[in-house]
Amino acid sequence: MSAGWRGTSSQSAREAQAGEPQPLEGFGPTFYRICKNKSVEHFSVVPYIATLLNCMLWVLYGMPFVKPNSTLIITINGAGTMIELIYIIIYVLYSDGSRRIKALLLLFTDIAFIAVVAAIVLSIFKSHEERTLIVGILCIVFCIMMYASPLSIMKRVIKTKSAEYMPLYLSIAYFFNGLCWTTYSLIHLDVNLTIPNATGLLFAIAQLLLHAIYNKSTKRESNGGKSEVALSEVNVAH
């Protein structure tokens, strides 16, 4: 399929065709754009599928039969699960062909994976300590993978000496998210929460440092890039 980018610079179009990393965008703004244009354009469903899996794993981790007295973990990640499901449903509605099939297959894979993990944990491991350990390890792995996902963008920032591909508000959000959950985990002495969120906090600090270092060059590039904006529609083939 092809997706039209209105008001996209020719440079950005070439980067998209070449498979270069695209700017990090908040999920909300992304789906506002998808609904407005009634097309998923160049966006991938994978980040939303990955975030959904991460949220569902933490919901499983907070369940009474795994780790009792974890209401906050369940409520926060339960809300995250619902939000991600809404995003994925919107993605499916505005995609077609292979993209829709891929999104549905990945969604069912997520659900099946959680079901299998839950079944194994309940049938094989009898104590809360064992269940917490097994599910906790999975949560750590997937959470760190999610936090580390912007590494390619950070590499691009260093290479181009511009932070335009890494919005400041997202870096700040990552920072406070990591800080809050790290603090919570230390209060409750939960190493399964501490490891991934402390790692995420370090990644967020690194992003903020990059913003501080390349702030001036980013502004210059943004101002210069305005003159390159194409008035015509650029079609990007997939």
DSSP letter string over 73-136?
HHHHHHHHHHHHHHHHHHHHHT--HHHHHHHHHHHHHHHHHHHHHHHHHHHH--SHHHHHHHHH
> What CATH class has 150-238?
mainly alpha
Closest CA to 228 of 1, 2, 15: 15
- Tell me, what's the pLDDT at 165? 65
Between these two residues, 90 and 151, which has the higher pLDDT value?
Answer: 90
Q: Residue 217: pLDDT above 80? A: no
In whole angstroms, what is the distance from residue 223 CA to residue 125 CA? 59
In one letter, which amino acid is 176?
Answer: F
User: For all residues of the chain together, what is the average pLDDT?
Assistant: 78
Helix axes 46-62, 97-124, angle to 10 degrees: 20
Residue ranges covered by each domain of the chain: 25-145, 150-238
Is residue 31 very low, low, confident or very high in pLDDT (cuts 50, 70, 90)? confident
pLDDT above 70 for 195? yes
pLDDT at 50 over 50: yes
> Alpha helix locations (H) across the chain?
10-17, 27-37, 46-62, 71-93, 97-124, 128-148, 151-160, 168-187, 191-225
Selected residue with higher pLDDT from 207 and 57: 57
Of the listed ranges 40-44, 100-104, 157-161, the least confidently predicted one is 40-44
pLDDT digits (tens, 9 = 90+) for 93-117: 888 888 889 999 999 999 999 999 9
Question: Which pLDDT does position 75 carry in this prediction?
Answer: 94
Give pTM, 2 decimals.
Answer: 0.71
Whether the CB-CB separation of 178 and 204 falls below 8 Å is answered with yes
